[in-house]
Copies of this chain bind each other. A is one copy, B any other.
Amino acid sequence: MQSRSVKILSIGKYLPKRKIYAEDLDKKLNLPEGWTAEKAGVLVRHYVENETSSKMGALAAKEAFDSAGLTLEDIDCIVCASGTGEQEIPCTASLIQKELGGEYSGIPSFDINSTCLSFVTGMDLLSYLIDAGRYNRVLVVSSEITSVGLNWDDKESCTLFGDGAAAVIIEKTPENETSKIFCSDMKTYSKGAHYSEIKGGGTKLHSREYSENNKNDFLFYMDGKKLYKMSAQILPAFIENMLKKVNLSLSDMELVIPHQASFMAMKLTQKNLNIPEGKFLYTIGHHGNTVAASIPMALYDAIESGRIKRGDKIMFLGTSAGMSVGAMAFEY
């Protein structure tokens, strides 16, 4: 069974106040004027000042609550679906629950992590629990702080990323409505497990081993070319197979909301998949790559601007460290 009666009820977004423009990074990195805008395609991204991941997630969630006229009490489960975490222990979802004032709420809270695809994986998994009646409404939050882990010696990667959060309330589709998830799929090819990574900070290279000599091991690394090449080979058949099983094709989609990996990779992916201009959403120019928050932040923009409306067929699509590809097609 692929289809699930699940509806995206409401959504919220949080962007830190501090704006970092392409020109700022050109100067910081001693790059020729215009380099960041042209090569990274990110004109502005936001960095946290004193915001924590849980604070950003809670602020995005509050907007989603307000938009739906709901409060925390109406929520049966909180999932933090992010590639970065606030602390090693406990899971970030607990910290978000605390920020939301739910200290005594008892609402089950846990994390799901597939790096940049975490939001899609989180919504995918929880949709089965909603469809089966275990939970009625679930809050899925992606909140990412990338700015603390960038390698300023690597201009290709450090110019791409931004901080931000988005939160979505999903629920069982009301009886007289038609919102649904048609299908979703994910494939992981660990051949590319080290094409993008942060080696340190976990149990293999503990923080206590941090030194001048290995400091880059605690920062983000990616080989964008290898990642793109691998995803380009996999994606066309992956998408076609996923949609074929439910008698859909890419041309049925009103809008494709991709992970905002990098402007260049996105342009090539759009071409590779033959997706017409205007049907492939770019928000990287004003958000940067915000890891798992990229897709729900872009969804927020699409909904707010009226670009999508109830009844539209939409597809999430992305690649992530792992290396994984993932997608979900749904009626909004």
Q: Is A107 an interface residue (CB 8 A)?
A: yes
Given contacts A53-B202, A200-B207, A207-B210, 14 further A-B contacts (CB under 8 A): A2-B134, A87-B202, A88-B202, A89-B197, A98-B193, A103-B193, A105-B188, A106-B187, A109-B322, A110-B114, A113-B113, A128-B134, A201-B207, A208-B210
Which residues of the partner chain B approach A87 to less than 8 Å between Cβ atoms? 197-202, 204-205
Residue of B at shortest CB range from A201?
B88
Q: Is A190 an interface residue (CB 8 A)?
A: yes
Residue of B at shortest CB range from A118?
B110
Q: Is the CB of A322 within 8 A of B53?
A: no
Q: Would you give the 0/1 interface string for A77-104, flagging 1 where the beta carbon is closer than 8 Å to chain B?
A: 0100001111111111111011000111
Question: Could you tell me the distance between the alpha carbons of A188 and B104 in the complex, rounded to whole angstroms?
Answer: 8
A103 to chain B, nearest CB (A): 4
Q: Is the CB of A110 within 8 A of B112?
A: yes
A203 interface neighbour in B84, B189, B196, Cβ under 8 Å: B84
Q: Is the CB of A189 within 8 A of B322?
A: no
A-B contact pairs, 16 of them (CB 8 A): A87-B205, A88-B200, A88-B201, A89-B220, A90-B196, A91-B321, A95-B193, A98-B190, A105-B190, A110-B117, A110-B188, A111-B112, A111-B113, A149-B203, A208-B210, A208-B218
Residue of B at shortest CB range from A234?
B106
A188 interface neighbour in B89, B109, B196, Cβ under 8 Å: B109
Residue of B at shortest CB range from A204?
B86
Q: Is A159 an interface residue (CB 8 A)?
A: no
Residue of B at shortest CB range from A320?
B90
A207 with B207, Cβ < 8 A, contacts A111-B112, A322-B90 known? yes
Q: Is the CB of B148 within 8 A of A203?
A: yes
Q: Is the CB of B95 within 8 A of A321?
A: no
Question: Could you tell me the distance between the alpha carbons of A310 and B191 in the complex, rounded to whole angstroms?
Answer: 38
Q: Is the CB of A113 within 8 A of B110?
A: yes
Q: Is A269 an interface residue (CB 8 A)?
A: no
Q: Is the CB of B109 within 8 A of A190?
A: yes
Q: Is the CB of A85 within 8 A of B202?
A: yes
A211 to chain B, nearest CB (A): 9
A108 interface neighbour in B105, B196, B324, Cβ under 8 Å: B324
A90 with B321, Cβ < 8 A, contacts A111-B112, A113-B110 known? yes
Q: Is A283 an interface residue (CB 8 A)?
A: no
Residue of B at shortest CB range from A218?
B207
- Looking at A2, A52, A200, A208, which has the most chain B CB atoms within 10 Å of its CB? A208
Q: Is the CB of B190 within 8 A of A84?
A: no
A206 with B324, Cβ < 8 A, contacts A90-B197, A113-B111, A132-B128 known? no
A190 with B94, Cβ < 8 A, contacts A203-B85, A204-B86, A220-B89 known? yes
Q: Is A29 an interface residue (CB 8 A)?
A: no
Q: Would you give the 0/1 interface string for A20-64, flagging 1 where the beta carbon is closer than 8 Å to chain B?
A: 000000000000000000000000000000001100000000000
Q: Is the CB of B210 within 8 A of A104?
A: no
* Chain A residues numbered 121-178 whose CB sits less than 8 Å from any CB in chain B: 121, 125-126, 128-129, 131-134, 145, 148-149
A261 to chain B, nearest CB (A): 14
